[in-house]
Amino acid sequence: MIGILSKRSLRREGMPRAESKGSGRAARRVAFFAAQSSRVWLASLSNYTATENLSQKDLAAVRSTASMELSLGSYPAGSVSQRGQASAPRVIFLVGFMGAGKSTVGKALAGQLGWEFEDLDDRIVAREQRSIEQIFRELGEPEFRRAEHAALRALLSESNSAPRVVALGGGAFVQAENAALLAQAGAPSVFLDAPVEVLFRRCQQAQQVERPLRRSQEEFGKLYDARRPHYLKAALRVETSDQDIEVVAQAVARGLGLQPNNSSREDIP
């Protein structure tokens, strides 16, 4: 169900291949993980070393460099404590296509962790005094993306706010400037995934939800295919197809090194 920066995804992100010689590459390997947030960073490092079949010399070099970097605290703000211990994230971003269950899972996850939940679209509506559909219809998608970016920037600036789970709109993580904001903040992003036919069926069943870019099934599939490579850049991927909501939420929490509380069960519609 869960994929934490798999060997294949590391290749896609440009990670150098481990070699039996040249352990000086360890610093560059570790630098890649510095872009990840705290516990996801540690899980990614563990996954990488386990799947790369490193020589003992390379493995020792990677671990040594990682320990040194952690002790120096040279990672995104808030991801490592002053003592060099990984600290839990204070905000988690759920990304994915229409119908992935970002809001549903987000509320369940927030409940399990005792955190707040926020849908970024709700913040956009409050700031713009228009519904998402109205913004698209009256002002166009470029203006919506501007409002979306401004809302995300404002959210990230609230450093003293309570821990929260945030659901992003389907196109938010695709925008390079938004992904850059999350990377700069060191906030973990989680890709909730499902087959495109499942996503389309869910959207058809939830007709009351505004989805300005929901069109025919063929166009829906094309948009999904275009966006999925961007979603795969998230730190964690969790499958939601035919999964219980609470189980998915627990998988997200544990994938990020967080301990969820026990909760009831409910299926994703």
Indicate the burial class of 221 (C-beta count within 10 angstroms; 0-12, 13-18, 19 or more): middle
Q: In what helix (H) or strand (E) does residue 166 lie, and over which residues does it extend?
A: strand 164-167
**pLDDT in the model for residue 242:** 84
> 36 near 5, Cβ under 8 Å?
yes
SS3 19: coil
- DSSP E strands, the chain: 2-3, 91-95, 116-119, 164-167, 189-193, 236-239
Tokens of 146: 């501007």
The 8-class DSSP code of residue 55 comes to: -
- The pLDDT of residue 98 is above 70: yes
* Domains of the chain, first to last: 2-72 (no CATH), 91-255 (3.40.50.300)
| Residue 84 banded pLDDT, cuts 50, 70, 90 | very low
pLDDT (tens digit per residue) in 2-36: 544 443 443 443 333 333 344 444 444 444 444 44
> How far is residue 156's CA from residue 152's CA, in Å, rounded to a whole number?
6
SS3 49: helix
Across 61-65, 97-101, 210-214, 226-230, least confident range = 61-65
Q: Mean of the pLDDT values across residues 128-153?
A: 94
> 82 near 69, Cβ under 8 Å?
no
- The pLDDT of residue 38 is above 60: no
In order of 25, 34, 146, 170, 253, the CA distances from 167 in angstroms are 37, 24, 18, 9, 15
Q: pTM to 2 decimals?
A: 0.67
pLDDT (tens digit per residue) in 205-255: 865 555 555 567 888 999 999 999 999 999 999 999 888 999 999 999 999
Q: What is the mean pLDDT of the chain?
A: 74
**pLDDT in the model for residue 107:** 97
Across 124-133, 167-176, 258-267, least confident range = 258-267
